[in-house]
Structure 1
């Protein structure tokens, strides 16, 4: 059974069609890159899976069921723009996640926070942008979810922070779960990807195993992406 099935999904804003019969699947246990230029429809797809937008037509299934309360329980979402109140302390943030999400593993979060040498009593507003991003990622990855959706998880942080974030993603996601990563920094993330989905102007161009695509094209995913999208 597929974890996520996106079938013929369309979405328009006024006269502009942003998703055009989008179809793809996500199997359990995969790390998948949702890759495309700005304005290609990546964020719209992500918002739909998270029920922040609704399709005009088509359907999205999670664990073979239409989107609803049950699917919200099994998806852990890191948005591109932070939704956190920066006036709260890290310990208060952990309290919130523990109260709100049944699958939040506080011990995991506390361990990761401690490894970063962050004082749990510090407020988020006192931290650098990179540290804020790390804290938010820790909260998201400390849930025992079926699907982790990460929208630009390494955007706007320095290379050292990127390495930390990728390591955290790899070492903490729930066994048997899947991760959907939307990013434009393909060279940084391609080493962890099992599959890629290329999307352009609201259409899926391909969904393929990362290794198969590299072997077929005899170049990196980043190289294939630049060739396809003429970057």
Structure 2
């Protein structure tokens, strides 16, 4: 089963971004990573994806330190499209097939069609919301243990978010870990099994959604509004 272990993680740029952070996650969970801008959410995801190596502390993905060997176990979606925007959809697919042996082309086109996206478009011709939908399709079409989505629906029209949530739920591998970094707590709450609240580089809350509802008699967004 998928597993993430973090012990005494510290990361600094000009200032401290992650401060002695500790976290253990087991497979079979969709986790919401929430917090204000600058709280360290994106940095944490980049470390888990093996893209940031200058941290101090211990980080393990299925008992291995994140590096090029764990790329096959982690599907990472940054908050901005990472490939050349001049590429067509088919060229994007070809690139993913080249870099990721676990990429399922048939699954991608199935999700792409469910999102009602234009097949013959170039990336630069798509709206921000369309690009985000395509990125979700790309990310979910990899057969990995861990999925990291950084602000995946910030540019998507609110009316389309419910269908996106259903598509994510229907394509989540039950033994994997999916972490979604977001400001849109109320929009993704139906997805979540667990919530991590990150502030000033520390995890101030790590509870299941059911624990928050049962202990405080309120939804996740109401809880964060009241407490934080």
The TM-score range, normalised by the shorter chain, is over 0.9
SS in 1 for 2:142: coil
Can you list the C-alpha shifts for 1:165-204, whole angstroms capped at 9, x where unaligned?
2222111123311100110100001111101111111111
Give the Cα separation in 1 of the matches to 2:126 and 2:81: 14
After TM superposition, list the pairs within 5 Å mapping 1:1-231 onto structure 2.
3-14=3-14, 16-229=15-228
Question: Quick one: distance in 2 between partners of 1:196 and 1:30?
Answer: 10
In 2, Cα distance between equivalents of 1:224 and 1:123: 42
Report the CA distance between 1:72 and its aligned residue.
1.4
- Which secondary structure state, in structure 2, belongs to the residue aligned with residue 66 of structure 1? coil
Aligned equivalents of 1:34, 1:59: Cα separation in 2: 20
Find the aligned partners of 1:222 and 1:170 in 2 and give their Cα distance: 20
Give distance in 1, aligned partners of 2:118 and 2:35: 38
**Partner Cα distance (2:129, 2:175) in 1:** 29
- Asked whether the equivalents of residues 10 and 55 of structure 1 are also in contact (C-alpha less than 8 Å), the reply is no
Aligned length: 228
Give the CA deviation at 1:39. Answer: 1.3
- Maintained 8 Å contact 2:47/2:66: no
Q: Distance in 1 between matches of 2:16 and 2:4?
A: 23
Unaligned stretches of 5+ residues in structure 2: none
Contact 1:144 1:173 in 2 (8 A): no
Q: Residues of 2 paired with 1:2 and 1:121: CA distance? A: 36
Segments of 4+ in structure 1 off by > 4 A? Answer: none
CA contact (8 A) 1:7 1:22 kept: yes
Pair 2,114 (structure 1): closer, same or farther in 2 beyond 3 Å? closer
Report the aligned-residue RMSD: 1.6
Question: Any gaps of 5 or more consecutive residues in structure 1?
Answer: none
Higher alpha-carbon deviation: 110-119 or 93-102: 110-119
With over 3 angstroms needed to count, the CA separation of the structure-2 counterparts of 1:117 and 1:17, relative to structure 1, is closer
Which segment is superposed worse, 51-60 or 207-216? 51-60
Using the size of structure 1 for normalisation, the TM-score is 0.93
Q: Distance in 2 between matches of 1:208 and 1:114?
A: 35
Cα distance, 1:217 vs. partner? 0.9
TM-score (norm 2): 0.94
